[in-house]
Structure 1
Amino acid sequence: MARIEHVEILMVDLPPAVERVDAIQAFVSQETPLVRITDSEGAEGVGYAYTIGTGGPAIMSLLERTLAPRLIGREAEEIEAIWRDLLFATHATAVGAITSLALAAIDTALWDLRCRRAGLPLWRMAGGAQPSVPLYTTEGGWLHLPAEALAEDAAEMKARGFSGAKLKIGKPSIAEDRARLAGVRAAVGEDFRLMVDANQAFDLAEAMRRADMLAEARVDWFEEPMPADNVGAHARLARHSRVPIAVGESMYSQAQFKDYLEQGAASIVQADVARIGGITPWLKVAHMAEGFNVSICPHFLMELHVSLVCAVPNAPLLEYIPQLDAITTSRLDIRDGRAHPPEAPGLGIAWDWSEIRARIVPGTHHNFGEGGTHATHGHGHRAEA
């Protein structure tokens, strides 16, 4: 083992390659906090999180003023202890997205460091359950797109070997959502999976009405039908619906998933490694879901989730939405519609540091501990002007 000697934090802003609109919001930009940790033997690990356009400065402030300084001198292998100590240090602001996203950037860096030191890829280090996973696409299913575009994209992805497509729903009338689904189904046939995502747009009564329509459309799951904090409503909907209910991207702790599983309120959980606080809690949710015979199909972050879904036995699908192409030289390994996890030690993400440094949001770049190249300022840490 080796102690943490240096921590670097920064944030870049990545506009999405395509317009992304759902029933309640638009994906404005991907603020991407990055954390690079170096131990006393010179080994490094890099982790990250993301937003959809707001909150990034708050995450960076929490990292700068509260979390990153606490890492210096800690044993890097004691990931569980570090995660719990940092959570306790922020317990007055948890559970919530800002804290979880900050924790995730650190936790994923520590796992990257651990795997690199061991010479193992993350998917093997975290379990090694399956060597590849089928893909489904969301990138061509956004709500603002015309029905013809939805059908064309789904047919193209089927031709590429993908297992399914996810479409955003939440048009003002059920008839319009029904027509859009029918057009896609006609284009891809019955042997292609279709999932839908309402992004928490409905109340219980409307979710029940849409669920009946979705069953007729032979949909594989109904994602985020209502606000995620209403567990009881989801339990009622799950008892009513012939379509499996999927939730999780808007949940930020293991305990929230426990409540859903205990009440039978979801058939698929969609824990997001960034929003739940990192790899450490993500694996706990995945194995807890396995105990309830429930699948985990994570939200976003395919470049990282590909390794996690291959680490556990109850992850049947991976969502395809490219997010890091602008700042990495690695790409998702796709063969015949299946994603294969990286075999390189660590997360397997090859960061393009020249591009990253060209995109740093001013005021977000700071260094802590030994080995930095910038002068020490205020809070006992090194900061780049």
Structure 2
Amino acid sequence: MKIVDIKAFPTSFRVPKENQVSLGIGTMTKRDCVLVKVTTEDGIVGWGESHHARAPGTIGHLVNTTLRGLVLGMDATDTTGIWAKIYKMQLGSHGAGAATAMAMSGLDQALWDIKGKATGWPLYKLLGGTNRPVPAYAGGISLGYQPPDALAAEAVPMVEAGYRALKLRVGDSVKADIARMTAVRRRFGDDIAILTDANTGYSVADARQVMPAMDELNIAWLEEPFPAHDHRSYAMAKGFGRTPLAAGENHYTRFEFHRVIEDGNITILQPDLSKSGGITEVQRIAAAASMWKLPIHPHSSMTGLNQAVSIHFLAAIDNGGYFEADLSVANKFRDDLGSEPWRISKDGCVRPLDKPGIGVEIDEKFLEAHPVIEGPGYV
């Protein structure tokens, strides 16, 4: 099962103004993704998603040049050996750091897709799991900055569809954030879990002011109030209230999660299977977290491919938490790029796909019709 070809497809589409969402890092004006296609000598094709890093052409180029050169000719089933080679030759020293972690994540997913197709097993079964229900929350690029009543109204169809947890965007102003959280809590009562994500938009002073209000509103977590490297601010904020701190989508490999776990300030861990090193590496992160009784709530990336992988993964670990269901409006990467990745049930859960491998069929004509649009995706 030697690898004979590796190709990355950076792709983009513009977001119409009426569908743009504002959050802690700005307003999204376009969506990007990078899909990775791996082909074996047997003709088996696997697909994976590398996070775009807000520089999709760069991530695609890294896959198509450096990683391709390192991995071509290796056994596609040797996911551990391939990961180790990339770490030794690229990631561990002078190797583009987080960009390499993202690039190798999509490659690793594609290799697991190949293993599933070769054996006829769905990914969750390869990983030791079962086809069990996984609780989901309404997330993705949705429920952003808008008037409180409008925000509550946007959430109504999500709750009616079955979601029992919602993630709100905070990091605007403390006053506005509290007003939005309060409106949603009043609208839905205590039966709905409310999660929040600041997208690194808070200062320490903001966190000190907002967290007591979050305690009063029974907020389930405060995600990424600060950048991933700002360990001191996380340590300070831990004492500002009872609301747990969450992070992980911008932590790369088990080596960065090691400090997070041992510090004990962040107790909701959110590695992204398209950013943190792929399935092979996030397995290791989840195992380390389980020793400390910490849950894994994966961050979802852009496409239905990543989202399907996340569900498979959650169905196969013993410390899995929520699946982040991307409910952003008009997401072509979820709706048009591939086959249906998941479906919510009335009990607020999703299940992994039962087809071999990841189970999402990719439309390559979509990739051809949506070439990469370089430049920032948030303004």
> Distance between the aligned counterparts of 1:181 and 1:94, measured in 2?
42
My pick for the range that moved more, 289-298 or 145-154, is: 145-154
Give the drift of 1:362.
9.4
Tell me the equivalent position of 1:265. 265
Provide closer, same or farther for how the CA distance between residues 139 and 63 of structure 1 changes in structure 2, counting only shifts above 3 A: closer
Question: Which of structure 1's runs of 4+ aligned residues deviate more than 6 A?
Answer: none
| Offset, 1:184 | 0.7
**Counterpart check, 1:305 vs 2:310:** yes
Within 5 Å, which residues of 2 pair with 1:74-85?
Answer: 74-85=74-85
The answer for the alignment partner of 1:318 in structure 2 is 323
1:258 is paired with a residue whose SS is helix
Amino acid at match of 1:312: I
Q: Which amino acid aligns with 1:128?
A: G
Structure 1 spans left out of the alignment, 5+ residues: 364-385
Task: Give how far 1:74 is off.
Answer: 0.5
More displaced 10-residue stretch of structure 1: 233-242 or 306-315? 233-242
**What is aligned with 1:351?**
362
Unaligned runs of 5+ in 2: 302-306, 328-332, 375-379
Q: Distance in 2 between matches of 1:289 and 1:314?
A: 8
Structure of greater Rg: 1
Note the alpha carbon deviations across 1:82-111, whole angstroms, 9 max, x for none: 112112222344573311111112111111
Name the residue aligned to 1:339.
350
State the one-letter code of the partner of 1:29: K
Alpha-carbon spacing, 1:130–1:4, altered in 2? closer, same or farther (3 Å): same
- Cα distance 1:266–1:295, how it changes in 2: closer, same or farther (>3 A)? same
What secondary structure, in the 3-state scheme, does the structure 2 residue paired with 1:131 have?
coil
Cα distance in 2, alignment partners of residues 175 and 215 from structure 1: 15
CA distance in structure 2 between the partners assigned to 1:10 and 1:294 by the alignment: 35
Match of 1:371 in 2: none
Contact persistence 1:154–1:188 (CA under 8 A): no
Equivalent residue, structure 1, for 2:35: 34
For 1:175 and 1:108, locate their aligned partners in 2 and report how far apart those are by CA, in whole Å. Answer: 42
- Trace 1:261-300 onto structure 2 (pairs within 5 A): 261-300=261-300
Instruction: Kindly tell me the number of residue pairs found equivalent between the two proteins.
Output: 360
CA distance in 1, matches of 2:154, 2:140: 9
Say if 1:135 and 1:339, in contact at 8 Å, map to a contact too.
yes
What is residue 56 of structure 1 aligned with on the other side?
Answer: 56
Identity %: 27
Q: 1:1-385 maps to which residues of 2 (within 5 A)?
A: 2-16=1-15, 18-51=19-52, 54-91=54-91, 92-94=93-95, 96-128=97-129, 131-139=132-140, 141-172=142-173, 174-301=174-301, 302-321=307-326, 323-336=333-346, 337-361=348-372
Scaled by the length of structure 2, the TM-score of the pair is: 0.89
Residue 238 of structure 1, CA deviation: 2.1
Task: Specify the alignment match of 1:378 in structure 2.
Answer: none
| 1:347 maps to amino acid | I
Instruction: Provide, for residues 276-309 of structure 1, a one-character-per-residue CA deviation record: whole Å limited to 9, x for no partner.
Output: 1211111111121111111111111323211111
C-alpha distance in structure 1 between counterparts of 2:257 and 2:238, whole Å: 15
Equivalent-residue separation in structure 1 for 2:29 and 2:104 (angstroms): 23
What do the CA deviations read for 1:147-191 (whole angstroms, capped 9, x no partner)? 12211122322222211101011222x222211111111111111
The one-letter amino acid paired with 1:165 is L
Q: Which moved more, 1:187-196 or 1:247-256?
A: 247-256
What residue identity is the alignment partner of 1:328? G
Counterparts of 1:50 and 1:15, CA distance in 2: 17
Q: CA RMSD in A?
A: 2.1
Native 8 Å contact 1:151 1:187 kept in 2: yes
Seen in structure 2, the aligned counterparts of structure 1 residues 155 and 358 have a Cα distance that, compared at 3 Å, is: closer
Alignment check: 8 A CA contact 1:30 1:51 kept: no
In the alignment, the residues of structure 2 paired with residue 320 and residue 123 of structure 1 have an alpha-carbon distance, to the nearest angstrom, of 18
Read off the aligned partner of 1:5 and give its amino acid letter: V
